[in-house]
Amino acid sequence: VRSLHVAQDGTIYVGSKKELGYLEPDENGQLRYVSLMEHIPPNDREFQDVWNTFETPDGIYFYSYTRLLRWKNNRFKTWDIYTNGSPNYIQGHLYITGRDGKLLRLENDRLVTVTQRAEFVRGIMAILPLPAPNKDVLVIPWARELKAFNLQTGEYTDSFKVPEATNSFLKKHTFYNYSRFPDGRFFINTLQGGSLLLDPQFNILKNYTQSTGLPGDIVYYSHIDREGAVWVGTGKGMARLELDTP
């Protein structure tokens, strides 16, 4: 399994290597896997790892580096892509990064170019929202730092300055992905330095590492549950963090 997503209706969607589908209960209430591969047109079934599975108002998306698939109304829509980095749904649009450094936006089921930059060749790892009323975002290309960016013009801006301590840490430890709390805090996962808890202004509140209780310092995934605790998946196992517990 490469990715999981719990949809708003409770369905658990699964992305794997050359495979995707969902889980549903059988007659005994036990979850069983149901493949969706037969619903994909035969010519579009060639893909490798499904690294991201996520939901938008347009449907359930499955993302691999060579194929983007959307499941809606029991049908698949597919796009041929050649990408790096992670997909990002923000400000009502889906964004992905081509290996030629193009930032692409999905508009009316077409991928259009926003901009093309050398630092995007290895992919944008995340596009993060800024506190209102700022309508810019923060982008972080692979192994770089967070910078303010305007998705309409495709240009960097000076509308927000990320704290130096935060960017220094992320440049050293390699940002991987993040989760966001309802109150605006961020839980940032890295490939060398564990996870960071940031306030809405991106100041570091705490660094969670193996020395503070995580199974390992390589963190691949985090999920915030209904109680506000964070499930963390590392290279050495999983942990549940109750952040407000001393």
pLDDT for 44: 96
The per-residue pLDDT for range 175-185, each reduced to its tens digit, is 999 999 999 99
pLDDT for 226: 87
pLDDT for 246: 44
| Ranges under pLDDT 50 in the chain | 246
pLDDT for 1: 85
The per-residue pLDDT for range 183-200, each reduced to its tens digit, is 999 999 999 999 999 999
Closest CA to 198 of 120, 138, 240, 144: 138
Cβ neighbours for 48, distance < 8 A, ≥ 6 positions apart: 17, 18, 64, 65, 66
The per-residue pLDDT for range 88-118, each reduced to its tens digit, is 999 999 999 999 999 999 999 999 999 999 9
pLDDT for 243: 84
As a three-state string, the secondary structure of the chain is CCEEEECCCCCEEEEEECEEEEEEECCCCCEEEEECHHHCCHHHCCCCECCEEEEECCEEEEECCCEEEEEECCEEEEEECCEEEEEEEECCEEEEEECCCEEEEEECCEEEEEEECHHHCCCEEEEEECCCCCCCEEEEECCCCCEEEECCCCEECCCCCCCHHHHHHHHHHCEEEEEECCCCCEEEEECCCCEEEECCCCCEEEEECHHHCCCCCCEEEEEECCCCCEEEEECCEEEEECCCCC
pLDDT for 233: 92
